[in-house]
Amino acid sequence: MTTRAIERARAGDAVPGPPEPRLDAAEIQAHVLAGFAAPLQTALFVELVDAGRARRWLRRIAARVTPLSAAPPGRPVRTGVCAAFTFEGLRKLAGDADAFREAAFKEGLHARSGLLGDPLDERAPGHPRNWVVGGPGRVPDVFLLVGAGRRAELAEAVARLEPAPGDGVRVLVAQEAAVLHGSLGRHEHFGFRDPVSQPRLRGLERPAPGHDRPGRRLVWPGEFVFGQPGQNAMDLELPGPVASAGPEWGRDGSFLVVRRLRQDVAAFRRFLAAAATELAVSPDLLAAKCFGRWPSGAPLVLAPGGDDPALGRDDDRNNEFGFAGDPLGLVCPHAAHVRKAYLRDHPTSDLAAAAVETHRLLRRSVPFGPAYPLAGERGLLFLAYQTSIERQFEFVTRAWLNNPLLRDEGEGHDPIAGQNGRYPHRRRRFAVPVTDARGGLRRVVLQLDEEWVVPTGGGYFFAPSLTALRLLAG
């Protein structure tokens, strides 16, 4: 704040804040900042076999990609297409792709898998060599996501995008995904609503009273879109430096992390049944303690006595909470997924509130496979946007989800998304504080012997602006 501004403030005058950012809705892909509400989606992982011939196909793709301007204000688009490229894919198309600055993007997900806690043993299902797509020799160049409301509509949209024999393009994997049916609608396969908590962006929302509270904080859009100011790490109100990907044409683009995660629902339920007996609680309560929310999305700290579906449906109220009132983790354990993935206001954190917001992710995940107990592979196609894979996705995974010592020595790993990459046996632990009959506090440490979330593919991609996409297509 300047001396003149301080003088005006002392005199009782309003101090103007920094100007609100302006987002170019005609350039930014809708999937980045609005997402798709489409209940049916298909992901295509594509290899550019002949980049020269592939440009004709890419021009067809560029004409179909959905801009943010097509999204209703504050809402996702019902149908749409998004397109993103790995670094190797961009090197085939752009002479200056090496100007990208981020090492993680250039190296790729498969090369950094071990840093994320994925198995180092090549025999393990989660090792990149065993992935469905994205492992050595099967790294895609392009990722396409198509969303629609009806199967016939989706099939028609996918058919328009699939390459013809002479296009110099090969589809490595076509992954179907869909919102689950019935009571699991808008939930993931373990039975919990997903996503619930998302960053709120300046430029899409204007500051309102209370916007500095956890769950209502407004983040500067450069955390998710290049060419925009990022979040100042010391002050929620102030912008940080403008985010730059490296190439000039990186403006209005975003990095996309894709993780194909297989979910073992039977293993998760076996753990709940055995551990709930040890804790003398219901399996439903233990599952909520693992997530930090009830299946509806209602947070434990606001609904400690049981699920509250009305609260779960209210995306404003169900994020109006912090952890300061539960410092010991009696209601929501320190290692619960929501408490690991977003620190909010945890009193022992050495990060300022603004710094916490520099590690946020915009998640666009969608389930795949049949609901349990039907036969077949099931899981989550995890999708997340950011402008720094290292500072956002990788930091959250390594420093928070996988860190058994984040707040105290015994809290353990995130039981849902955390992995233990430090030891050969990969066993994890999850500490649950409980009170005894006399009101004393004790900590029960649960051993997680099975892995119920296993990585089976994915990649690090860049989702360019609409203009950059047309330039890449030539």
Q: Is residue 89 part of a domain?
A: yes
Q: How far apart are CA 245 and CA 228, in angstroms?
A: 11
Beta strands 218-219 and 200-201, pairing class: parallel
Question: What would the mean pLDDT of 148-176 be, rounded to a whole number?
Answer: 97
Q: Are residues 122 and 194 in the same domain?
A: yes
Tally of domains in the chain: 2
Residues 60 and 142 in one domain: yes
Q: Which of 94-103, 167-176, 341-350, 364-373 has the lowest mean pLDDT?
A: 341-350
Counting Cβ atoms within 10 Å, is residue 292 exposed (0-12), middle (13-18) or buried (19+)?
A: buried
Residue 274 resides in a domain: yes
Q: What angle do CA 382, 388, 392 make, to 5 degrees?
A: 55
pTM score: 0.95
172 and 288 housed in the same domain: no
Q: With 50 as the cut, is the pLDDT of residue 1 above it?
A: no
Residue-range definition of the domain harbouring residue 359: 263-371+392-456
Work out whether the CA dihedral 259, 337, 418, 370 comes out positive or negative.
Answer: negative
Let me know whether 254 and 366 are in one domain.
no
What pLDDT does residue 346 have? Answer: 75
Unique residue bearing structure tokens 């990969």: 426
Residues 357 and 452 in one domain: yes
Q: Please give the Cα distance from 114 to 40 (Å, whole number).
A: 32
pLDDT for res 6: 40
pLDDT tens figures, 434-446: 988 787 889 999 9
Q: Is residue 9 pLDDT above 60, yes or no?
A: no
* 45 contact partners, CB below 8 Å, separation of at least 6: 133, 134, 140, 142, 143, 171, 172, 173, 174, 175, 457, 459
pLDDT value, residue 325:
92
Reply yes or no on whether the pLDDT at 321 is more than 60: yes
172, 140 Cβ separation under 8 angstroms:
yes
Task: Give the pLDDT band of residue 349 (cuts 50, 70, 90).
Answer: low
Q: State phi, psi for 277 to the nearest 5 degrees.
A: -65, -40
Q: 87 φ, ψ to 5°?
A: -60, -40
Task: Give a yes or no: residue 348 inside a domain.
Answer: yes
pLDDT band at 209 (very low <50, low <70, confident <90, very high): confident
Same domain, 314 and 417: yes
**Is 315 part of a structural domain of the chain?**
yes
Per-chain mean pLDDT for the chain? 93
Residue 177 lies in a domain: yes
The helix/strand/coil state of 370 is coil
Q: Which residues pair with 83 in a beta bridge?
A: 144
Q: Do 43 and 118 belong to one domain?
A: yes
For residues 298 and 174, state if they share a domain: no
Regarding whether 167 and 82 lie in a shared domain, the answer is yes
Does residue 7 register a pLDDT over 70?
no
Residue-level pLDDT at 350: 66
- Is the same domain home to 72 and 108? yes
Amino acid at 361: L
Please check whether residue 71 is in contact with residue 79, taking contact to mean a CB–CB distance below 8 angstroms. no
pLDDT on residue 185: 86
Q: Does 223 reside within a domain?
A: no
Mind listing the pLDDT tens digit for each residue in 386-423? 999 999 999 999 999 999 999 888 899 999 999 997 76
Secondary structure (DSSP) of 319-334? G---STT-TT-SSS-T
Decide if pLDDT at 467 tops 60. yes
Residue 376: inside a domain: no
> Taking the CB of residue 426, how many other CB atoms lie within 10 A of it?
20
Contact 68, 23 (CB under 8 A): yes
Residue 21 lies in a domain: no
Does one domain contain both 91 and 173? Answer: yes
Do 433 and 360 reside in the same domain of the chain? yes
Q: Indicate the range of 50-54, 132-136, 343-347 predicted with least confidence.
A: 343-347
